[in-house]
Amino acid sequence: GAVRPLLGESKYAEYVHGADGMGDLGITPSQRTVDKRSAVELLRDLIEQSDEPVTLVPLAPLTNVALFLRAFPETAKKLHRIVLMGGSTSAGNATAAAEFNIWHDPEAAAIVFQSGVPITMYGLDVFMRPGVTSAEADKLVSSPEPSAQFGGSLIHAFIERLRVSPITLGDYGAVASAIHPELFTTEMFDVVVDTSSGPARGQTICDRRDSFLKELEPLALADSAKVRVVMDLDVEAVRQLWLKTIDKGWS
């Protein structure tokens, strides 16, 4: 995959995810052989091999996806939609205005949003809401299921690192919204990714005005895109879906 954004240098969030990206749990490195293809080539091959339209669920900055869309536009036509974790209709977390994944590579995000592929944005409006408590993590760690033990340990690591409980399930919510859209409420907005060098760089500017005002003064930027944004969810149903997925005996 890309080691840096389209412009500028890479930015990391070790203060959240740890040096290894998995909470510094001391996980044994995978022994699997690294695929010799680039991430862009791998995306192309997997999508071309699919007999059905493909839904992409990127959970990180969108550099690889943007490069794929530009390099292989014909293959990209097989995409059904992109459900991405990133953005916000209000405030940010990497900066006052921008969410981390979009802020890390605004140019890539703009390419993806303007690609014509249907986009669903699972962002900070709902990101923090489904969470797991320390007590629930204890229960997972004591489960006979290896997946539950790992999930519980990871939850504990994040609670200790960030000193907050419950801790958000984060990325999982975006995946769940792609698989179980009935648990989520979405709205369509005109969205522009700010690619300027100012304090709003990386902001996803969402036009939430009522239709009357939009008709009087449309979003004044030509590069806006129609984006479906997740605005609400059934928090408990989404939480229980995660718990029962990683721990078959959860009750």
pLDDT at residue 174 is higher than 90: yes
What does the pLDDT average to over 234-241? 98
pLDDT at residue 65 is higher than 80: yes
In this prediction, residue 1 carries a pLDDT of 85
Give all domains of the chain, ordered by start, each with its CATH number.
38-128+169-234 (3.90.245.10)
In this prediction, residue 218 carries a pLDDT of 67
| Other residues' Cβ atoms within 10 Å of the Cβ of residue 146 | 9
| Other residues' Cβ atoms within 10 Å of the Cβ of residue 29 | 6
What does the pLDDT average to over 58-65? 98
Amino acid at 172: Y
**What is the residue whose two structure tokens read 């405030």?**
91
Asked if 232 and 185 touch (Cβ cutoff 8 Å), the reply is yes
Asked if 82 and 43 touch (Cβ cutoff 8 Å), the reply is no
Residue percentage of the chain with pLDDT more than 70: 97
Q: How confident is the model at residue 222 (pLDDT cuts 50, 70, 90)?
A: low
- Chain-centroid distance, C-alpha 210: 27
Phi, psi values for residue 121, rounded to 5°: -105, 115
Note the pTM of the prediction, 2 decimals. 0.91
Tokens of 169: 């399930």
Lowest mean pLDDT of 77-86, 89-98, 192-201, 220-229, name the range.
220-229
What does the pLDDT average to over 228-237? 98
What does the pLDDT average to over 73-78? 96
Write the pLDDT tens digit of every residue in 186-221.
Answer: 999 999 999 999 999 999 999 988 877 777 776 666
pLDDT at residue 99 is higher than 90: yes
Task: Check the CA dihedral 82-168-230-196 and report its sign.
Answer: negative
Q: Within 13 Å of residue 54, how many CA atoms lie on the same side as its CB?
A: 17
Q: Residue 228 in 3-state DSSP?
A: strand
In this prediction, residue 159 carries a pLDDT of 92
In this prediction, residue 244 carries a pLDDT of 96
Write the pLDDT tens digit of every residue in 6-42.
Answer: 999 988 877 777 777 777 878 888 889 989 999 999 9
Write the pLDDT tens digit of every residue in 110-146.
Answer: 999 999 999 999 999 999 999 999 999 999 999 999 9
Average pLDDT score, the chain = 93
In this prediction, residue 221 carries a pLDDT of 60
b or e along 90-105 (b: 16 or more beta carbons within 10 Å of the residue's beta carbon)? eebbbeebbbbbbbbb
The strand ranges marked E within 144-224 are 167-168, 184-193, 204-207
pLDDT at residue 85 is higher than 70: yes
